[in-house]
Structure 1
């Protein structure tokens, strides 16, 4: 198996969900959408982006859609704001009518969708004229330091681990690929930019333990290792990860964001 799977909302939160929030804040701030708009969060997961939209954009309503019932349950439990509603649904066939929302966003999802072009076409379909479509994905190849350190250490012990490494696989996680997706969907005024946030771990345990949760490619790879191999990787990471004088591990994460508009009313 070489593809990430996410089903446990709490494990996902510990692994990368906690780092998605500062990225979501920068992303929503840059969109600058007016208050009172109808939003859609495609692949809402545990609700990090929806929560940020509610806090920062003063929407009339946010509809979150995700294929994982477990994630939807976590989002519903965490977010009690009456302007938010969550439902299980497919990004390739969104359960919304045409031209029904003003802003459609997607956070850290498009690289996991079987057909990203179809997903963006669906986003464009449900947007009203002049609506905004925007998304962001992790830069797995170079910008996600917590994963890059893990995979570089894994490859030093086991070259076959490269088959699991998101950063080594073709994906939409690059500026050119994202721009092409938006342009091919007929969206205009397309812009791509980076969002970088600090990811500071309290200590080695804080860095390592989320990889034991089984959510994603790296935890999936780790789960299949023998105890000895797993401990060897743990030791190698201990020797390689940067450490501040206070014992924290200061890393950074970069995402690529893209936005565009549907054609306005003539």
Structure 2
């Protein structure tokens, strides 16, 4: 059994947090939420999406909610804007009143929630009438190249690793799965779009080192291996990855973003602040 750890903010930042920040900006811009809105970032992690909202959307306020105190500590250290606040809480039972926020969003977290349908229902509950409910997740099947290369190499050496591959574990992280989840939640105008960004690694060590941090499925798998197996995986990956003449490794990171609007006729009035 491979333990999945989501608690060390610095290790997460080195692994995928730095790339999430790039995707987050494109996600927020694509929502087109007017300035002065009140936002909630459900499953905020280390604050990548919260920071993007502050930079791009001119919000009145942003509240980030996460179960990991380690991630929240990192978010508070990185995001010091007075409009932002962070609170412990579960995406399936958000610790805020109904109808409180104009935009309720989530980045790279929904597929790790045991009951994503309940999590989306909670996003709808806390959104204002006519508000936006949206999320983005990695395209594990092919668009998130750093992770796709990793599992292809891992499975070639150890077929049992296929059970840990996020592309197989999370069918939600595809357009049809996201669209169905948002539609079942009763949201109107549901759309799904792709977001892509460049993930350029300075060299192989820059690519491999984050997999030693223990944060998430792939690093958790690496931590479970013997030294000999870990070395074999490292060299197999080195041979697979595309390298430029200067030794850098140009890859891309892709995500799927879904959004919908809370129905005016079915949602409670906005709660008072």
TM-score of the superposition, structure 2-length normalised? 0.95
Q: Does the aligned pair in 2 maintain the 1:2–1:163 contact within 8 Å? A: no
Distance in 2 (alpha carbons) for counterparts of 1:3 and 1:93: 24
Residue 259 (structure 2) aligns with:
259
Distance in 2 (alpha carbons) for counterparts of 1:162 and 1:106: 27
| Correspondence 1:240 to 2:240 | yes
Residue 61 (structure 1) aligns with:
61
| Correspondence 1:135 to 2:135 | yes
Per-residue CA deviations over 1:14-50 (Å, capped at 9, x if unaligned) read 0000000110010011111100000000000000000
Equivalent position SS for 2:119: helix
Q: How far has the Cα of 1:170 moved from its partner?
A: 4.0
Residue 40 (structure 1) aligns with:
40
Residue 11 (structure 1) aligns with:
11
Total equivalences in the alignment: 266
Counterparts in 2 of 1:117 and 1:20: CA distance versus 1, 3 Å: same
Q: How far has the Cα of 1:190 moved from its partner?
A: 0.4
- Report 1:38-187 matches (<5 A): 38-187=38-187
Residue 271 (structure 2) aligns with:
none
Distance in 2 (alpha carbons) for counterparts of 1:235 and 1:91: 39
Residue 218 (structure 1) aligns with:
218
Equivalent position SS for 1:114: coil
Q: Does the aligned pair in 2 maintain the 1:3–1:164 contact within 8 Å? A: no
Q: Does the aligned pair in 2 maintain the 1:68–1:88 contact within 8 Å? A: yes
Equivalent position SS for 1:245: coil
Distance in 2 (alpha carbons) for counterparts of 1:102 and 1:224: 43
Distance in 1 (alpha carbons) for counterparts of 2:62 and 2:166: 30
Equivalent position SS for 1:104: strand
RMSD across aligned positions (CA): 1.2
Q: Does the aligned pair in 2 maintain the 1:198–1:253 contact within 8 Å? A: yes
Distance in 2 (alpha carbons) for counterparts of 1:124 and 1:81: 26
Q: Which structure 1 residue ranges, 4+ long, deviate > 4 Å from structure 2?
A: none
Equivalent position SS for 2:245: coil
Q: Does the aligned pair in 1 maintain the 2:46–2:74 contact within 8 Å? A: yes
Equivalent position SS for 1:117: helix
Residue 228 (structure 1) aligns with:
228
